[in-house]
């Protein structure tokens, strides 16, 4: 038998009353639950007479498995007598059918057994798919909304207007759905909804109202007390710094002013009087320092800067209170509350109608959702049949004890069920840890746990609180680090528990003294080299965030590889041995999944095996984005983003350059129009035009197909036509990607089965799923070996443990949407809204919303703290934290001067303003007033907390260089295997290197640009190659469409001139009016910009057709091809004579180009090229030389294509109206 601690014994053996076990991380709560069950079975209890509720199905299965294993161990041992063994053996078979399950599963069994009590159809189907549930909700609200619109209900129209925008009424729908999800977890859903208007019942005086007295007053007074406490702490800092001494009097007077504000609120002064006093708050002027003080203070002004900043921040907090509660006078505020009450009354009415319709649809479809399970179970347990609650009596008699695991995460409805089942004969055994309550988004109610936690401690309470604080998982280093943080940030106000000695982690496992269990905190700082080159005058947020994220991932990869390569030693407590670290000993935890794609890519390149247990969001996967973009443009092709997404995808296959070419043609139009203009300007034989025409025909076909067929048939047709299923199956993670596409097909099938029709509505439905953060996919894992680094969210890591844990992105800011949304909900305070003035169209946030926002901020930050606790307590031996800060000196100074109360807990204001895990940790573990003495900017070590803080300049490493600089300036090397592999690749020399650098496709413009002498077939300038393998010039200017200067330039005019010469009719000799009419049409059709059109020299065009070449064109109009595109295979050695690797005439290159004009005569071919360059007698020969290489290539190509060796080459310079023939070169 294990050696149980005294408190573990209490948890196993105490009976006869309710018990709450507060079990810290690693304290073995599941083991305790198993042993408690075993002890009951030893005393002749039957396992099917127990209700054991777990949080997940996986936890229930694990508990059953462990219970069976433990029973078998006992039966095989000598610990039991024969009767006990026989009884134990009989329990093995009962475990499978015992009520060891989630509360939802238990409720389902209640319904199946007693459905008749409430006249429920037993042939119901459980809606296990959130998608189907969402669609039924849509159907219900559509019906309700339709009825109200049909009645032309003015109050409903105002309600819709209040929660929606000018484009649609989706805002009201979202409000109804969110309110439903919040209300349904309440044990009295209808009653809670009906009470929402109570907080809007006001008389003539705001300060006399119940809502203000009981809710707003305590909140605002507490806020001002917190500000006063912060000022007191700031004053102490100022008193000990010469440069800050003159701030002491200013802060003293401010504290007095805040005391007066608190007094006014306490004695119920009038609302307008309180408003005026708060609005008039200001600091006194700070007197300048004397010359003597300045000289004695020295140059260090870090403290006075901190005092200034915090003083300003505190003033901002006062302004926030004013803007939240007192921005309008009493008359205006009462008017807004009155209008809000009317809106909420209508909202509640519509909400009831929606619930009624939703339940009706589910009844008609013979379905129940998960919320119904709890509500129907409560209804069954509470319903009397012949004067008896037969179901309730059955379960109360059957269950001799009720055991609840993860009690901190139950909601109000679940607590109602638990209390219903309990009576004087059967008691409740609850196990949980308030410090690990992290499911607020599922309406978990931690106040239920804390209420009993406080109640059970009282001497006169018959029930019992048992603390399990001994951590059998982690090293002393991890425990000390965790304790040093949470004793500074947890209290009853924020975090819901005082982190005192009774709850602090106590090491329960002895690690060897020489084992490395020191925790490390790394903060990447500064700009990367790429950042330094960026134009900081322009927004760079998205790129900066990506660079920062990738750099952190790169640092983690290098750190992991260094640990592996150094044979870092891990202590295996179960086996009592030390061994070398494996990849599978490491977990990377993150707050969300946003970095997963970058991490997978980077780790794959670094050859670090990785298992990702949380996939990226379903709708963020490449294949789903392509398909949703395709569906969007089938619905409406004039949507630039989805249109370009499909054009760039494998479905069409245009590259960025080609997309840019299209947009240049239609620069001022939408992209769909730009495509049409491109085809019109380039003709149908151009490669891009062919792709566009084929794509448009396909889209038109899909649109027609969509009108005549179901949505699922359309999706399947797209799959078949495009081959996208086969394509994604060949990508990394192909099996999952193909499954994702099949899932979309299934979602569409489910959508239509529920009587929803139409592509547009399906797209809207999917968009709402995205907006509501609903992920319709299953978690994904990257196929790899068992020995791989585990990557997961903090939520997914709960209950798991790893020798080494990396917590990454510690600098990411907390999610504020829980308390910044326009409409907020709270169990106690009801609903807070933003009210729209129907006349002025101005929005005003109500006092009720301000109160809920304040409370929600506290609960949100509390949950973030608990998430941090969960993350840090997953580590057995060592924690490594990685974050970023651009200005570490300032950050360290802020941490150093954070304020703490008399108990050493950081003040509420500082904790609420922390914004990130990095700040919570830093301000907890950096000692006060010791930065200058003990902290070097590069490295800091704290023995008490057992951690090192390292500042790493991210410019010293990048994903490209794969080098990482630590605080000592050393680099973390890559793995030897990886380096050897890379070196083998980099050192390999291929015998025909030039051929590998030359694509089988080259355009004439690319070839001609290589030669300093355009007609000299040498590769003198071909030493720089682009990624696609084409020979290109060394440098390119910025593309015109990216240039800031939007003035008309010569290139624009030249392109337009060529277009006019291509489009002008040559049935007769064109006149001035013909050119003008054509140009006007091109401008009207948005093919040519009007400003560009003004610059076209019409006179030179007329003169061109008056020239000998012009006459020859008119005379042979049927043999003339303008803008003649060609593609021809040519011998590579004819193009690039200088390359020693390109010698065989078997080496071919496909040359592509467009000739301005070709005239096919009986005995020869004439090619001509007109130029709009500024040419004069001084430079004309140079210009001819420059263009001769291009025309010679054209001539070679046309000679091969037409099998005509006699080719005449002409250049026509429009500016000077001169034609030059290029003579054949020897």
**Are 244 and 340 in a shared domain?**
no
Query: What is the distance between the alpha carbons of residues 380 and 376, in angstroms, rounded to a whole number?
Result: 6
Confirm or deny that 24 is annotated as ligand binding.
yes
pLDDT, tens digit, 9 for 90 and up, residues 1028-1055: 333 443 434 444 433 444 567 788 888 8
CATH value at residue 154: 1.10.274.50
Given this model, what pLDDT does residue 784 score? 44
Asked whether residue 194 is domain-assigned, the answer is no
Given this model, what pLDDT does residue 535 score? 44
Given this model, what pLDDT does residue 623 score? 86
**Which tokens in the block code for residue 1219?**
């034609």
Given this model, what pLDDT does residue 973 score? 37
Burial level of 577, CB count in 10 A (0-12/13-18/19+)? exposed
Asked whether residue 32 is domain-assigned, the answer is yes
Query: What is the distance between the alpha carbons of residues 866 and 515, in angstroms, rounded to a whole number?
Result: 28
Characterize 320-340 residue by residue with b for buried, 16 or more Cβ atoms within 10 angstroms of its Cβ, and e for exposed: ebbebbbbeebeebbebbebb
Given this model, what pLDDT does residue 978 score? 38
Q: Among the ranges 219-228, 673-682, 965-974, 976-985, which has the highest mean pLDDT value?
A: 219-228
Compare 850 and 958 and report the one with higher pLDDT. Answer: 850
**Are 532 and 577 in a shared domain?**
yes
Asked whether residue 1149 is domain-assigned, the answer is yes
Does residue 523 carry a pLDDT above 80?
yes
| Stretch 885-907: mean pLDDT | 86
| Stretch 953-957: mean pLDDT | 68
**Are 164 and 304 in a shared domain?**
no
| Stretch 526-530: mean pLDDT | 53
State the DSSP code for 573.
T
Mean per-residue pLDDT over the chain, rounded = 84
Give Cβ neighbours of residue 157 (< 8 Å, ≥ 6 apart): none
Q: Give yes or no for a contact between 354 and 140, defined as CB atoms under 8 angstroms apart.
A: yes
Confirm or deny that 23 is annotated as ligand binding.
yes
**Are 361 and 374 in a shared domain?**
no
| Stretch 1187-1208: mean pLDDT | 84
Given this model, what pLDDT does residue 372 score? 96
Does residue 532 carry a pLDDT above 50?
no
**Are 1095 and 1149 in a shared domain?**
yes
Write down the number of H helices and E strands in the chain: 50, 30
Does residue 339 carry a pLDDT above 60?
yes
Given this model, what pLDDT does residue 990 score? 45
Asked whether residue 299 is domain-assigned, the answer is yes
Query: What is the distance between the alpha carbons of residues 933 and 643, in angstroms, rounded to a whole number?
Result: 60
Does residue 544 carry a pLDDT above 80?
no
**Are 536 and 674 in a shared domain?**
no
Query: What is the distance between the alpha carbons of residues 71 and 76, in angstroms, rounded to a whole number?
Result: 9
Percent of the chain topping pLDDT 90 = 55
Given this model, what pLDDT does residue 1036 score? 41
Does residue 971 carry a pLDDT above 50?
no
pLDDT, tens digit, 9 for 90 and up, residues 349-364: 999 999 999 999 999 9
| Stretch 1188-1217: mean pLDDT | 86
* 3 state DSSP class of 638: coil
**Strands 830-832 and 824-826, how do they pair?**
antiparallel
Confirm or deny that 30 is annotated as ligand binding.
yes
| Stretch 846-859: mean pLDDT | 95
Lowest mean pLDDT among 257-266, 415-424, 1041-1050: 1041-1050
Given this model, what pLDDT does residue 1086 score? 74
Cβ atoms within 10 Å of 753's Cβ, excluding its own: 11
Confidence of residue 304 (pLDDT cuts 50, 70, 90): confident
Query: What is the distance between the alpha carbons of residues 905 and 908, in angstroms, rounded to a whole number?
Result: 9
Given this model, what pLDDT does residue 1045 score? 46
**Are 253 and 118 in a shared domain?**
no
Confidence of residue 1174 (pLDDT cuts 50, 70, 90): confident
Query: What is the distance between the alpha carbons of residues 1201 and 429, in angstroms, rounded to a whole number?
Result: 89
**Which tokens in the block code for residue 975?**
């793995």
**Are 597 and 723 in a shared domain?**
no
Does residue 67 carry a pLDDT above 70?
yes
Give Cβ neighbours of residue 218 (< 8 Å, ≥ 6 apart): none
Please give the residue range of the domain that contains residue 283. Answer: 210-327
pLDDT, tens digit, 9 for 90 and up, residues 786-803: 789 999 999 999 999 999
| Stretch 1196-1211: mean pLDDT | 86
Given this model, what pLDDT does residue 1139 score? 46
Query: What is the distance between the alpha carbons of residues 324 and 853, in angstroms, rounded to a whole number?
Result: 9
Given this model, what pLDDT does residue 798 score? 93
Asked whether residue 608 is domain-assigned, the answer is yes
CATH value at residue 1169: 3.90.320.10
Given this model, what pLDDT does residue 295 score? 64
Which DSSP string corresponds to 203-248? Answer: -S-STTSHHIIIIIHHHHHHHHHHHHHHHHHHHHHHHT-GGGTTHH
From 332, 572, 610, 619, select the one nearest 473 (Cα to Cα): 572
Q: What stretches of 773-846 show up as alpha helix (H) in DSSP?
A: 794-797, 817-820
| Stretch 598-613: mean pLDDT | 86
Compare 216 and 683 and report the one with higher pLDDT. Answer: 216
- SS3 string, 1069-1119, reads CCCHHHHHHHHHHHHHCCCCCHHHHHCCCHHHHHHHHHCHHHHHHHHCHHH
pLDDT, tens digit, 9 for 90 and up, residues 475-517: 999 999 999 999 999 999 999 999 999 999 999 999 998 899 9
Give Cβ neighbours of residue 1185 (< 8 Å, ≥ 6 apart): 1013, 1014, 1015
Confidence of residue 958 (pLDDT cuts 50, 70, 90): low
pLDDT, tens digit, 9 for 90 and up, residues 694-753: 999 999 999 999 988 899 999 999 999 999 988 888 876 677 788 888 888 888 887 787
Burial level of 548, CB count in 10 A (0-12/13-18/19+)? buried
**Are 1036 and 1185 in a shared domain?**
yes
**Are 559 and 524 in a shared domain?**
yes
Compare 930 and 178 and report the one with higher pLDDT. Answer: 178
Asked whether residue 498 is domain-assigned, the answer is no
Among 748, 771, 794, identify where a domain stops: 771
Percent of the chain topping pLDDT 70 = 84
Strands in 1103-1203 per DSSP E: 1120-1131, 1148-1160, 1165-1171
Query: What is the distance between the alpha carbons of residues 432 and 418, in angstroms, rounded to a whole number?
Result: 15
Asked whether residue 145 is domain-assigned, the answer is yes
**Which tokens in the block code for residue 196?**
């929402």
Among 278, 302, 327, identify where a domain stops: 327
**Are 304 and 315 in a shared domain?**
yes
Among 712, 745, 771, identify where a domain stops: 771
Given this model, what pLDDT does residue 35 score? 97
From 187, 163, 141, 139, select the one nearest 353 (Cα to Cα): 141
Q: Give yes or no for a contact between 286 and 248, defined as CB atoms under 8 angstroms apart.
A: no
Given this model, what pLDDT does residue 1134 score? 60
Torsion angle in degrees (nearest 10) through CA of 675, 679, 681, 686 = 120
Compare 499 and 965 and report the one with higher pLDDT. Answer: 499
pLDDT, tens digit, 9 for 90 and up, residues 773-790: 555 544 343 444 578 999
Torsion angle in degrees (nearest 10) through CA of 909, 914, 917, 923 = -80
Compare 671 and 685 and report the one with higher pLDDT. Answer: 671
Asked whether residue 640 is domain-assigned, the answer is yes
Given this model, what pLDDT does residue 382 score? 96
Given this model, what pLDDT does residue 499 score? 96
Given this model, what pLDDT does residue 213 score? 94
Domain tally, the chain:
6
Write down the pTM of the prediction.
Answer: 0.72
Given this model, what pLDDT does residue 54 score? 94
**Which tokens in the block code for residue 1131?**
């011998």
Give Cβ neighbours of residue 852 (< 8 Å, ≥ 6 apart): 819, 824, 825, 826, 829, 830, 831, 832
Query: What is the distance between the alpha carbons of residues 964 and 959, in angstroms, rounded to a whole number?
Result: 10
Compare 1082 and 974 and report the one with higher pLDDT. Answer: 1082
Q: Which helix (H) or strand (E) holds 1207?
A: strand 1207-1213
**Are 939 and 1057 in a shared domain?**
no
- Scan for tokens 């990685």, then name that residue: 882
Lowest mean pLDDT among 521-530, 741-750, 1013-1022, 1128-1137: 1013-1022
Given this model, what pLDDT does residue 1027 score? 35
Confirm or deny that 29 is annotated as ligand binding.
yes
| Stretch 900-928: mean pLDDT | 89
Does residue 645 carry a pLDDT above 70?
yes
Given this model, what pLDDT does residue 769 score? 72
Lowest mean pLDDT among 309-323, 743-757, 1166-1180: 743-757
Query: What is the distance between the alpha carbons of residues 208 and 315, in angstroms, rounded to a whole number?
Result: 28
**Which tokens in the block code for residue 943?**
């023995």
CATH value at residue 30: 3.40.50.300
Query: What is the distance between the alpha carbons of residues 113 and 381, in angstroms, rounded to a whole number?
Result: 11
**Which tokens in the block code for residue 42?**
């030893």
Query: What is the distance between the alpha carbons of residues 886 and 587, in angstroms, rounded to a whole number?
Result: 26
Does residue 542 carry a pLDDT above 70?
no
Cβ atoms within 10 Å of 791's Cβ, excluding its own: 27
| Stretch 309-333: mean pLDDT | 94
pLDDT, tens digit, 9 for 90 and up, residues 791-837: 999 999 999 999 999 999 999 999 998 899 999 999 989 999 999 98
Q: How far is CA 748 from CA 141, 217, 774, 872, in A?
A: 20, 52, 16, 42
């Amino acid at each position: 038998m294990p050696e149980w601690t005294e408190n573990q014994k209490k948890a196993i053996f105490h009976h006869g009353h309710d018990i709450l076990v507060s079990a810290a991380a690693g304290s073995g709560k599941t083991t305790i639950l198993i042993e408690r069950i075993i002890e009951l079975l030893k005393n002749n209890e039957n396992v099917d007479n127990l209700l054991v509720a777990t949080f997940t199905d996986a936890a229930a299965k694990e508990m059953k498995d462990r219970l069976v294993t433990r029973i078998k161990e006992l039966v095989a041992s000598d610990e039991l007598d024969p009767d006990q063994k026989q009884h134990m053996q009989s329990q093995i078979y009962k475990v499978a059918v015992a009520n060891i399950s989630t509360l939802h599963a238990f409720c389902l069994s209640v319904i199946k057994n007693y459905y008749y009590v409430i006249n429920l159809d037993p042939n119901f189907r459980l809606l296990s798919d959130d998608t189907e549930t969402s669609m039924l909700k849509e159907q219900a609200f559509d019906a309700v909304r339709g009825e109200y619109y049909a009645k032309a209900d003015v109050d409903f129209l105002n309600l819709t207007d209040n929660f929606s925008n000018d484009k649609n009424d989706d805002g009201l729908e979202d409000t109804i759905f969110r309110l439903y999800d919040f209300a349904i977890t309440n044990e009295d859903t209808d009653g809670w909804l009906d009470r929402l208007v109570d907080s809007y019942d006001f008389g003539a005086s705001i300060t006399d109202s119940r809502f203000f007295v009981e809710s707003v007053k305590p909140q605002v007074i507490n806020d001002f007390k917190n500000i006063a406490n912060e000022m007191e702490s700031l004053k102490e800092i100022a008193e000990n710094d010469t440069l800050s001494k003159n701030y002491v009097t200013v802060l003293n007077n401010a504290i007095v002013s805040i005391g007066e504000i608190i007094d006014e609120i306490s004695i119920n002064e009038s609302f307008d009087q309180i408003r005026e006093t708060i609005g008039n708050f200001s600091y006194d002027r700070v007197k300048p320092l004397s010359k003597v003080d300045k000289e004695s203070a020295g140059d260090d002004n870090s403290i006075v800067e901190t005092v200034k900043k915090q003083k300003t921040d505190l003033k901002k907090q006062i302004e926030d209170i004013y803007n939240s509660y007192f921005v309008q006078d009493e008359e205006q505020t009462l008017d807004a509350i009155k209008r809000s009450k009317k809106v909420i009354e209508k909202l509640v009415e519509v909400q009831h109608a929606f619930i009624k319709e939703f339940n009706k649809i589910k009844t008609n479809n013979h379905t129940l959702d998960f919320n119904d399970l709890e509500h129907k179970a409560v209804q069954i347990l509470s319903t009397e049949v012949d004067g008896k609650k037969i179901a309730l009596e059955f379960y109360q008699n059957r269950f001799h004890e009720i055991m609840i695991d993860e009690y901190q995460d139950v909601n109000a409805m679940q607590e109602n069920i638990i209390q219903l089942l309990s009576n004087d004969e059967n008691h409740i055994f609850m196990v949980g840890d308030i410090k690990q309550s992290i499911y607020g988004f599922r309406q978990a109610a931690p106040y239920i746990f804390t209420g009993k936690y406080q109640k059970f401690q009282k001497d006169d309470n018959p029930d019992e609180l048992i603390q399990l604080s001994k951590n059998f998982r982690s090293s002393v280093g991890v425990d000390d680090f965790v304790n040093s943080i949470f004793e500074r940030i947890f209290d009853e106000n924020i975090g819901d528990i005082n982190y005192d000695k009774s709850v602090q982690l106590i090491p329960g496992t002895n690690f060897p003294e020489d084992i490395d269990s020191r925790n490390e905190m790394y903060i990447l700082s500064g700009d990367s080299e790429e950042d330094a080159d960026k134009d900081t005058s322009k927004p760079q947020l998205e790129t900066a965030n990506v660079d920062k994220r990738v750099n952190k991932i790169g640092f983690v990869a290098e750190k992991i590889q260094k640990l592996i390569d150094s044979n870092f030693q891990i202590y295996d407590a179960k086996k009592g041995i030390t061994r070398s670290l494996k990849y599978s000993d490491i977990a990377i935890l993150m707050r969300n999944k946003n970095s997963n794609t970058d991490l997978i890519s980077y780790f794959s390149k670094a050859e670090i095996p990785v298992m990702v247990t949380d996939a990226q969001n379903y709708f963020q996967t490449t294949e789903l984005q392509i398909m949703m973009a395709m569906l969007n443009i089938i619905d409406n092709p004039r949507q630039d983003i989805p249109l370009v997404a499909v054009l760039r995808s494998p479905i069409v296959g245009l590259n960025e350059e080609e997309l840019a070419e299209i947009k240049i043609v239609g620069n001022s139009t939408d992209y769909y129009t730009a495509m049409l203009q491109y085809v019109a300007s380039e003709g149908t034989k151009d490669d891009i035009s062919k792709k566009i025409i084929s794509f448009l025909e396909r889209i038109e076909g899909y649109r027609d197909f969509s009108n005549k067929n179901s949505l699922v048939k359309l999706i399947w047709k797209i799959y078949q036509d495009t081959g996208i299923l086969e394509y994604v199956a060949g990508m990394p993670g192909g099996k999952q990607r193909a499954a994702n596409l099949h899932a979309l097909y299934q979602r569409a099938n489910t959508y239509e089965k529920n009587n929803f029709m139409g592509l547009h509505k399906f797209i809207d439905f999917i968009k709402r799923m995205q907006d509501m953060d609903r992920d319709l996919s299953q978690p994904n894992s990257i196929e790899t070996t068992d020995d791989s680094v585990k990557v997961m969210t903090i939520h997914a890591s709960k209950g798991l443990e790893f020798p080494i844990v990396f917590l990454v992105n510690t600098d990411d800011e907390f999610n504020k949407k829980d308390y910044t949304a326009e409409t907020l909900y709270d169990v106690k305070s009801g609903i807070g809204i933003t009210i729209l003035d129907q006349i002025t169209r101005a929005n005003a946030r109500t006092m009720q919303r301000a109160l809920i926002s304040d409370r929600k901020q506290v609960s949100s930050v509390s949950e973030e703290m608990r998430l941090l606790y969960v993350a840090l307590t997953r580590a057995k031996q060592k924690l490594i934290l990685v974050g970023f800060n651009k200005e570490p000196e300032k950050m360290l100074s802020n941490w150093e001067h954070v304020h703490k109360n008399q108990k050493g807990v950081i003040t509420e204001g500082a904790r609420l303003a922390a914004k990130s895990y990095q700040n919570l940790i830093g301000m907890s573990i950096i000692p006060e007033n010791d930065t200058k003495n003990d902290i070097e900017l590069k490295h800091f070590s704290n023995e008490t907390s057992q951690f090192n803080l390292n500042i790493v300049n991210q410019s010293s490493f990048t994903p490209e260089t794969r080098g990482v600089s630590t605080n000592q300036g050393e680099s973390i090397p890559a793995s030897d295997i990886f380096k050897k592999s890379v070196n083998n690749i980099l050192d390999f020399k291929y015998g025909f290197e030039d051929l590998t650098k030359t694509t089988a496709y080259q355009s004439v413009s690319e070839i001609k640009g290589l030669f300093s002498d355009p007609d000299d077939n040498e590769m003198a300038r071909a030493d720089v190659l682009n990624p696609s393998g084409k020979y290109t010039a060394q440098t390119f200017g910025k593309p015109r469409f990216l240039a800031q200067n939007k003035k008309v330039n010569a290139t624009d005019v030249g392109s337009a001139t060529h277009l006019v010469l291509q489009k002008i009719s040559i049935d007769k000799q064109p006149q001035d009016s013909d050119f003008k009419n054509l140009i006007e049409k091109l401008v009207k059709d948005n093919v040519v910009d009007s400003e560009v059109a003004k610059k076209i020299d019409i006179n030179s065009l007329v003169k061109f057709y008056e020239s000998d070449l012009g006459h020859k064109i008119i005379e042979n109009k049927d043999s003339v091809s303008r803008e003649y595109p060609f593609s021809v295979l040519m011998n590579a050695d004819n193009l690039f004579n200088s390359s020693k690797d390109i010698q065989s005439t078997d080496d071919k290159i496909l040359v592509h180009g467009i000739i301005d004009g070709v005239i096919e005569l009986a005995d020869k071919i004439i090619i001509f090229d007109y130029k709009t360059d500024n040419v004069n007698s001084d430079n004309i020969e140079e210009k001819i030389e420059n263009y001769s290489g291009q025309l010679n290539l054209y001539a070679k190509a046309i000679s091969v294509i037409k099998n005509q060796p006699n080719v005449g080459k002409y250049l026509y310079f429009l500016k000077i109206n001169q034609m030059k023939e290029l003579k054949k070169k020897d």
